[in-house]
Amino acid sequence: MKDPVEILVLERQIIKFYDETYYTFGSSDNNKTYDKFFISGDNNSRMTSQIGIELFEDEKLKSSCLIGATGGRTVIHENSTIISYGGLILCCSNTVFKLTIPDLNLEWKTISDPATCFGIHYLNKDYVVHGELEITRLDKDGKIVWQKSSSDIWTTAEGIDDFSVYDGYILATDWDYFRYKFDYEGNLLDKYKVEHQKIDTNEIDFTKEKAELQDEKQVRMKWWKFW
């Protein structure tokens, strides 16, 4: 029995996500089967990331699908999924998908970064995608409003405090530890150098070990309401 890597709990539905990195189309050796498949990229290419999704309504399986995309590999985490406008929006490799709820039909998909979409966040009535090479604003229909790049990738070696959305502005830090302040229209308000995060290596190892132990016992669960 394959265990989900994350569960979203809505008012009437429960959505379960599965890491399907090794899912093979047309094979009888897969642990699970899915009703629908939505792919971003060349169908003849090996998908870098594959995510299985099951939606339960009133405790009964209502629908299921598998999404896949090429580019940098991603996993389900705290900032990779949101619920908005009656649908499920999630990052998978270089693409952002929107699926309807409860049927899990594809409403739109947008390649939002040439490499990897690290996460997606609310931005008023739109969204902003933290990508490896681009900061991208998407409207509610998945259309790109603007994109911003830097001299290097949009993360740091520590991957801590490298992207945040605040009331009226966005802060993003690149590999060279330059922090950029953008307004919601993509205008650069400020740019300055920040210090490297100084973290005790032993503390990192302990935190990682603790997280791994917790992941063995239970998956993360998040509660949402529609907006």
Q: Quick one: pLDDT at residue 44?
A: 59
| pLDDT > 70 fraction of the chain, expressed in percent and rounded | 85
Mean pLDDT calculated for residue range 101-108: 98
Q: Quick one: pLDDT at residue 45?
A: 67
pTM of structure: 0.85
> 107 falls in which pLDDT band (50, 70, 90)?
very high
What's the DSSP call for residue 137? E
Contact 70, 41 (CB under 8 A): yes
Nearest to 131 by CA among 145, 108, 147: 147
Contact 56, 102 (CB under 8 A): no
Q: How far apart are CA 30 and CA 80, in angstroms?
A: 25
**In this predicted model, which residue has the larger pLDDT, 106 or 70?**
106
Q: How far apart are CA 147 and CA 11, in angstroms?
A: 34
Contact 193, 174 (CB under 8 A): no
Q: How far apart are CA 53 and CA 66, in angstroms?
A: 6
Mean pLDDT calculated for residue range 189-209: 65
Mean pLDDT calculated for residue range 192-198: 83
Average pLDDT, the chain: 87
> 220 falls in which pLDDT band (50, 70, 90)?
very low
Q: How far apart are CA 162 and CA 150, in angstroms?
A: 13
| Model pLDDT for residues 59-94, shown as the tens digit of each residue | 899 999 999 999 899 989 989 999 999 999 999 999
